[in-house]
Amino acid sequence: MTSEFNEVLSQSEEIIELRKALKTAQLATARAQRKTADNIEAVYRAAKDASLATGKPPKFPVYKMTKGKNPEVALVHATDWQLGKRTADYGVITCRTRIDQLVTKVLSLTEIQRSHHPVNECVVMFGGDMVEGVGIFPGQAYEIEAHLFTQLFEVAGIMESMLQRLSAHFTKVHVVCEFGNHGRLGRKGDMPSGDNIDRMAYQITSERTKDLKNVTWQMSNDWYQIVEIGNYRALLVHGDEINSFGGSTPAFGILRKCNAWSTGVVEPFQDVYMGHWHTPMTLTMANAGRIFVTGSTESHSEYARAFIAAVGKPSQRLHFIDPNKGRVTAEYTCWLD
């Protein structure tokens, strides 16, 4: 009887200890969650304060719609700016200059199109990796010119200036946002994927462009966006959903994944737009839709030279869409070197 009593007593003590350990673990988890939430809230609060402190870019006269047959829509894919990255010939100022150059080319090419048919609307797809980040891979700190706070506000300022200019030359500008892997906070899995500097920059920019009545925004926590232009439907992803083997651009892997997505995994689409790989490329899917891989504004990456033996020329993408026939009518790779 005594041994049974001792055994029961021992089990009770173990239960008490386990309860104590569980409570300690729960408290630690709660503290960590509060700390994470506080950090994220602090970033957003600082973002709002800093955005109020910075001035507004100049306003431009508003473009008046032109009438005519067969109107088309300009589609800009802006992605992988990697702002904050430092290379031999790339930095924050270079990024700003190249996006300025991109907008100038978009407007010039649009005027060429307008000589034949109306182009009154523009869709801008921000594809992610707009910032370089700070903790994505070992040794990254040695390649960073600006830390996260500066990256956030610099990229938001560049996006704001870009939209200010575009909104003055189109009757409507629709912005579609997707976030990339470089915008994540910490290493992969450290934080929820939605807590992303790209998303913060988009939110800041949307707040600062509220006075632009012809600019609308499409943002969500999803890993993809469906871009609708009349009868044209495109899938926008960042591109890090496809694994790389040996560092090269995995053309077969991209085709296989996009073909799988087109079978009903996501909503119906015709074409796919992605960045991430820093190399402009076009592939054709089994359903005759196409995959447009867009380049980066970055140049002279030592990582690319050493790991994949490639040096990409800075570029972004501009298409013109026939919304009635639901197809791309003109394709431009806008070189920015």
Percent of the chain with pLDDT over 90: 61
Give the 3-state secondary structure of residue 263: helix
Could you tell me the residue range of the domain that residue 125 belongs to? Answer: 64-335
Percent of the chain with pLDDT over 70: 74
**Alpha-carbon gap, residue 266 to 110, rounded angstroms:** 32
**Predicted pLDDT of residue 147:** 81
**Predicted pLDDT of residue 66:** 79
Lowest mean pLDDT among 32-36, 75-79, 121-125, 282-286: 32-36
Give the 3-state secondary structure of residue 246: coil
Work out the average pLDDT over 40-57: 58
Reading phi first (left if > 0) and then psi (alpha if -120 to 50, else beta), residue 247 is in left
User: Residue 35 burial (CB < 10 Å; 0-12/13-18/19+)?
Assistant: exposed
Domain match, 102 and 42 both = no
**Predicted pLDDT of residue 153:** 95
Lowest mean pLDDT among 87-91, 163-167, 218-222, 318-322: 87-91
- The domain tally of the chain equals 2
Domain match, 40 and 70 both = no
On the question of pLDDT at 307 being above 90, the answer is no
Work out the average pLDDT over 236-258: 88
More confident residue, 22 or 295: 295
Lowest mean pLDDT among 99-108, 123-132, 192-201, 242-251: 242-251
Domain match, 38 and 72 both = no
Domain match, 123 and 251 both = yes
Mean pLDDT, the chain, integer = 85
Domain match, 135 and 40 both = no
Non-local (6+) Cβ contacts of 95 within 8 A are: 81, 82, 83, 154, 158, 297
**Predicted pLDDT of residue 7:** 62
**Predicted pLDDT of residue 189:** 64
On the question of pLDDT at 308 being above 50, the answer is no
Sign of CA dihedral 261, 263, 265, 269: positive
Domain match, 116 and 188 both = yes
Domain match, 207 and 328 both = yes
Lowest mean pLDDT among 114-128, 163-177, 245-259: 245-259
On the question of pLDDT at 26 being above 80, the answer is no
More confident residue, 61 or 331: 331
Domain match, 73 and 39 both = no
Q: What DSSP string runs through 48-102? A: HHHHHHSPPPPP-PPPPP---SS-EEEEEEE----BTB-BTTBSHHHHHHHHHHH
**Predicted pLDDT of residue 184:** 85
Work out the average pLDDT over 283-305: 86
Asked whether residue 280 is assigned to any structural domain, the reply reads: yes
Domain match, 48 and 114 both = no
Nearest one of 62, 53, 249 to 149, comparing CA atoms: 53
Asked whether residue 58 is assigned to any structural domain, the reply reads: no
Domain match, 156 and 233 both = yes
Domain match, 68 and 48 both = no
Asked whether residue 204 is assigned to any structural domain, the reply reads: yes
Domain match, 217 and 267 both = yes
Nearest one of 119, 142, 7 to 63, comparing CA atoms: 119
More confident residue, 217 or 26: 217
Work out the average pLDDT over 187-196: 72
Asked whether residue 59 is assigned to any structural domain, the reply reads: no
Work out the average pLDDT over 330-336: 98
